[in-house]
Amino acid sequence: MATVPSVSYSITVRLEVPAGGKAVSQLTHAVESAGGVVTALDVTNAGHEKLRIDVTCAARDTDHAQAIVDQLEAVEGVVIHKVSDRTFLMHLGGKIEMKSKVPLRNRDELSMAYTPGVARVSMAIARNKEDARRLTIKRNTVAVVTDGSAVLGLGNIGPEAALPVMEGKAALFKRFAGIDAWPICLDTQDVDEIVRAVQLIAPGFGGINLEDIGAPRCFEVERRLRELLDIPVFHDDQHGTAICVLAALTNALRVVDKRIEDVRITMAGAGAAGNAVLRLLLASGARNVIVCDYLGAVHQGRDDLDDSLRWIADHTNAEGYSGDLRGAVKGADVFVGVSAPGILTGDDIATMAPGAVVFALANPEPEVSPDDAREHAAVVATGRSDYPNQINNVLAFPGVFRGLLDAQATEVTSEMLLAAAGALAAVVTPEELGPNYIIPSVFHPDVASAVAAAVRESAGGRARGFTEA
């Protein structure tokens, strides 16, 4: 539940009021008295006796939206006609479409775009498959693939319910990088079937973006696809998050005048995102990291370690700390949370080292209240849009894929991810850098182009695979 009104729970109430009464002036007061925020008030029809008005307002959740409607209806003379949820209206019929890039106005154009002319193009590609990148949509198309098993913070809700999220992802690809992306929602959570399905559709795409596939299954899916395919495979929940965290941490450490090689980092979360963030932090020079999951610190003495946790134990926590998260946070310079809401308090943050950096990225409810964390930490970031320093994957994946596609890359490497993080951090100028501005807005005009250029340049040289980091 949102703690403050949000446009994601925005409603438009169509109502009628007497033209000459006090009701119009009371509408805004009614919404505000219910705790909502009026964002628009439009008269859609005016008469001598009645006015039809659309009142648009933001609420905290669906129950709060209904409370606002009830408050409006209680105003004397108001008649409610219709209540529309603006988020659902945006999704009616889907959010993306396919349209032709070439005109089809006459027989000549049809014969070139389709049969018989298209046969010549098909035969050229049959002789040289690489021409598909030049002569088809492959050069600018990404498949956004999910099995619906780990969608946002909603859990295993299935492929149909995942489709609106994947549509949104495709819309972001287009908006921020000009890439044509398409949702591929698979009705299976079997690793072999997922891998085979993606392998079979890969010829039509220039890259694969894995999305919202639960751990540890996602690790094997990504690994096997990278071995099988000659196009880049990028798991945004892992590597998009890692890029954004490293970029933000780079700038946060500049604010507090510390070096990544010297700081002690405590992480909460050892799943897909946590694993990738850890690997990229280590690749960037971090030396002292403790990772905690719901059982406490990951260390070599635990007897429940799978392959992923074993790797973490082998590369972190050199002193073998075996306590809980609260103990691991004490004295740490940096906390990075990619886990669960409300697992720390402001008092826990107070035990961190002076000049502490806190990234509480669980969404929508962070690991610790941002307001409480800001009482004690020098820099605080979240995944939310209603606080400064929002760490949002849309800062990374459009530019990363733009660079990969432009370079006609066949893989994603650790050097590319490090380059992307460095470029994203550099978008924030020294003059702009401060505790409340360590990461640029997703709408900053230079973000996607800067990240794309860095990835494109990195893809031009030899680079080791990310799994070797």
**What is the structure's pLDDT at 365?**
86
The SS3 call for residue 247 is helix
Predicted pLDDT of residue 465: 41
Residue 172 has pLDDT above 50, yes or no: yes
In sequence order, which residues have a C-beta less than 8 Å from that of residue 166 and are 6 or more positions away? Answer: 144, 146, 183, 184, 185, 211, 212
Query: Is 96 within the bounds of a domain?
Result: no
Q: Please check whether residues 87 and 143 belong to one and the same domain.
A: no
Whether 318 and 339 share a structural domain: yes
> Before 398, cis peptide (omega within 30)?
no
Number of domains in the chain: 3
Residue 385 has pLDDT above 90, yes or no: no
Instruction: Give the chain's mean pLDDT.
Output: 92
Same domain flag for 242 and 318: yes
pLDDT band at 466 (very low <50, low <70, confident <90, very high): very low
pLDDT on residue 468? 36
Catalytic positions, please? 114, 169
Burial class of residue 40, CB neighbours in 10 A (0-12, 13-18, 19+): exposed
Residue 463 has pLDDT above 70, yes or no: no
Structure tokens at 388: 């400064």
Going by pLDDT thresholds of 50, 70 and 90, the confidence category of residue 204 is very high
Which domain range does residue 25 map to? 6-91
**What is the domain-level CATH number for residue 193?**
3.40.50.10380
Both 147 and 281 in one domain: the answer is no
pLDDT higher than threshold 50 for residue 82: yes
Q: What is the pLDDT of residues 283-325, one digit of tens each?
A: 999 999 999 999 999 999 999 998 889 999 999 999 999 999 9
> 387 is written with which tokens?
């606080």
The pLDDT, as a whole number, for residue 3 is: 67
**Whether 311 and 205 share a structural domain:** no
User: Measuring CA to CA, how many Å separate 120 from each of 126, 128, 278, 318?
Assistant: 10, 13, 50, 62
**Which tens digit of pLDDT belongs to each residue from 392-408?**
999 999 999 999 999 99
Q: Is the pLDDT of residue 469 over 70?
A: no
H helix intervals, 74-117 = 86-91, 107-113
| DSSP 8-class letter at 96 | -
222 and 248 part of one domain: no
